[in-house]
Amino acid sequence: MATNLREGDITELTPLNRRDNYRPDIQGLRALAVVLVILDHAGVPGFEGGFIGVDIFFVISGFVITTLLHRQPTRQVGTNLRYFYSRRIRRIVPAATVVLILTIVVAYVALGQNMDSALFGDVRWAAMFAANFRFILTSSPYFIPGVAPSLVTQFWSLAVEEQFYLFFPLVVFSLTYLSPPQHRTRTLAAVVAIGIVVSAWWSYYQTPIHQTAAFYSPFTRFWELALGGLLALVPSHLALRTPRVNRAVAVVALGVIAACVFTFNDQTAYPGLLAWWPCLAAVALVWTGTSSAPGGPAAWLSVRPVTYIGDMSYSLYLYHYAWLILPLELANPPTAWWAKWIEIAGAFVCAVASYQWIENPIRRSKRLERDFVSVILLLAVCVAATWTATIIVGRIANVV
């Protein structure tokens, strides 16, 4: 479904990232996703199923990245890959590094000798975008009441995305290079569809027997990103024919998301088959947002305050978790009803600062855009800085 868009907080390829490509409804959908995740992690009653926001993110990410990759010059595989990975590093790594270092430092200041020593290892794996494998190996809790999760648990989904993006561009560029022009889109769509079937089956198979691995594994989650990717390959003109129907479908899709949020909880066998509900709803919202009659969900999601939250959703997702979980590990956790809202407000302030002063300046740097070697050095410095922080804080705390 080729369509104009801006990639926001996932990946950006500059030639296609002009303002006239902006999809405000997609940014609004990002905002909805991150707010649902925050309300779930904050323990707000009625939002126990807010973890489906991550599934919505996956679908959006797959759609956006496939659209952008599919538009790149077909005979410049090496150049495309270098440019893509450069943008990924600049967009994702610096902001994530700051969050990881702040988390380890603030955790020590707040908890002292009572901080969980496993956090040091968690942060190191997160710095390598392999946190999901760390949590599988350690059987880290996500849905276990009364068991404190890692303060960097949110990095599992970022790891899944980065692992997907590590190989998916290779698939796209290789197929577009090798396929005849007239069969290029259909060939890619067929390969993506096969990937969806295999990954979805594995998710269905794994969920009842090893839910921790099923929840965190890239192999059980890749179909969600690929589903968005398949949508990107559907001709966009098909969505332009029925704006009134699109509006009705979008309303139903929002209803499905609401039903998932209010009925799913920590006892839900997830992802498995149930993940199809929020994912298909996200597909419907992205599809109908291309052309929808006035007054529908596309318009609601395109309101400027909502799209701004979508614009900074990456930083907001990074910061919210420690703000909400760290106070629970204090000797005297806050119990007032307003405490969670103060914590959410703190996460918003940090997210705005990160978006304005870290994300935007680095991703828009003309110097880094032209110098791939400097970008690789930036990646190395960020990883080294994170590992160094864990060593220094660990020695101070007499933990490592």
Residue 317 CB-half CA count within 13 A: 27
**Residues 231/286, Cβ–Cβ less than 8 Å:** yes
pLDDT for residue 24: 94
- Specify the 3-state DSSP secondary structure of 18: coil
**Cα distance between residue 99 and residue 121, in whole Å:** 15
For 52-111, write each residue's pLDDT tens digit: 999 999 999 999 999 988 888 777 888 889 989 999 999 999 999 999 999 999 999 999
Q: Where are the domains of the chain?
A: 14-396
For 247-298, write each residue's pLDDT tens digit: 999 999 999 999 999 999 989 999 999 999 999 999 999 999 988 888 899 9
pLDDT for residue 77: 82
Residue 323's identity, in one-letter code, is W
Q: What is the pTM of this model?
A: 0.92
Write down the residue that tokens 């350690």 correspond to. Answer: 138
**Residues 24/302, Cβ–Cβ less than 8 Å:** yes
**Residues 38/93, Cβ–Cβ less than 8 Å:** no
Please list, residue by residue across 145-167, b when 16 or more beta carbons sit within 10 angstroms of its beta carbon and e when fewer do: eeeebbbbbbbbbbbbbbbbbee
**Cα distance between residue 48 and residue 263, in whole Å:** 8
pLDDT for residue 18: 41
**Cα distance between residue 325 and residue 43, in whole Å:** 10
Residue 126 CB-half CA count within 13 A: 31
DSSP 8-state symbol, 358: I
**Cα distance between residue 169 and residue 225, in whole Å:** 13
Residues of the chain short of pLDDT 50, as ranges, are 2-20
Q: What's the burial of 112, exposed, middle or buried (CB within 10 Å: 0-12/13-18/19+)?
A: exposed
pLDDT for residue 42: 94
- The widest CA-to-CA distance across the chain, in whole angstroms, is 65
- Specify the 3-state DSSP secondary structure of 338: coil
